[in-house]
Amino acid sequence: MNILDGKKTAQFYKDTIAAEVAALRAKGSRKPHLVAILIGSNGASETYVASKVKACEQIGFESTLIRFETDVTEETLLAEVHRLNETADVDGILVQLPLPDHIREDTVTLAIDAEKDVDGFHPESLGRMLLGLPGYVPATPKGIMMLLDYYNVDTAGKHAVVIGRSSIVGSPMSVLLSRNSKPGNCTVTLTHSRTVDLRYHTLQADIIVAALGKPLFLTADMVKDGAVVIDVGITRMKDESLSKGYRICGDVDFDAVAPKCSWITPVPGGVGAMTIAALMQNTLEAFKRRIKV
């Protein structure tokens, strides 16, 4: 069993981006600028946004965090998004999900200028991904592809089973794995909560991407020997033995599944770290397009 080390790999990509930014800065360029909007004070969202801001600092990006109270109106939020769309030195805009119930996620996603959509959630970004055109690929699936690429995991002709069909993880993951590219060229089965006999599918999989948000869901009896297992899940589980009162749990029963795998991602230190690296990569691309490098 080998570990797909997201933390180490993300550092490699962040170092590469930092070197590119330093070279551009040496030629007189400004810094790439990412703006994150955070609504309310959800603990997990606070943590994710803090990691994104920290990554920006590490690699020489400018970052701005804009906070709104939970009761912010959709109108106010949209006005801020429109202002950022028009601000010349803002390259990337992300609105941290989930949003409060009274704000429509689709409306906010559509309001972000597609040129600044570094999360890759805008229909234009998703359409471009489907057509194989240049654009922003959602950060989590993109990060997984970067991880498979870094470790040169053989994916061509393999059967990949993706568990979960969300528009930000499972569905784009299925598209990327089935693309005619390296990594890619998988035969993909996309599964969800209505899939009958999921275990029948996962037992045939050479590659499993677990992205359903159910802690320890994928058990050893669902995985064939030699499989590659990617664990996307992040759930906070109560744990009084830790000072923070919780631990992060993936969708895979790591201890039982890992011995059967050829490759597996840990949680934490797997996909989460790669998501941040992919977001930084998208922001660098946005910046380079804007300054026309």
Catalytic residue among 5, 91, 119, 253: 119
Q: Which distant-in-sequence residues (6+ apart) come within 8 Å of 21 by Cβ?
A: 31, 32, 59, 60, 61, 284
Q: Tell me the closest approach of the beta carbon of residue 34 to ligand NAP, in angstroms.
A: 16
Identify whether the C-beta of residue 118 lies closer than 8 Å to the C-beta of residue 147: no
Q: Classify strands 235-238 and 227-231 as parallel, antiparallel or unpaired.
A: unpaired
Q: Tell me the closest approach of the beta carbon of residue 202 to ligand NAP, in angstroms.
A: 10
Identify whether the C-beta of residue 201 lies closer than 8 Å to the C-beta of residue 189: yes
Q: Tell me the closest approach of the beta carbon of residue 60 to ligand NAP, in angstroms.
A: 23
119 is catalytic: yes
Name which of 80 and 251 has its Cβ closer to ligand NAP.
Answer: 251
Catalytic residue among 5, 14, 91, 96: 96
Q: Tell me the closest approach of the beta carbon of residue 208 to ligand NAP, in angstroms.
A: 12
DSSP E strands in the chain: the ranges are 2-3, 33-39, 62-68, 92-95, 159-163, 187-191, 207-210, 227-231, 235-238, 246-249, 261-264
Name which of 57 and 105 has its Cβ closer to ligand NAP.
Answer: 105
Name which of 63 and 189 has its Cβ closer to ligand NAP.
Answer: 189
Name which of 191 and 290 has its Cβ closer to ligand NAP.
Answer: 191
* Binding region for ligand NAP (CB under 6 A): 140, 163-166, 168-170, 191-195, 198, 211-214, 232-235, 271-272, 275
Residues in the chain: 293
β-strand partners of 38: 67
Which residues are part of the catalytic machinery? Answer: 52, 96, 119
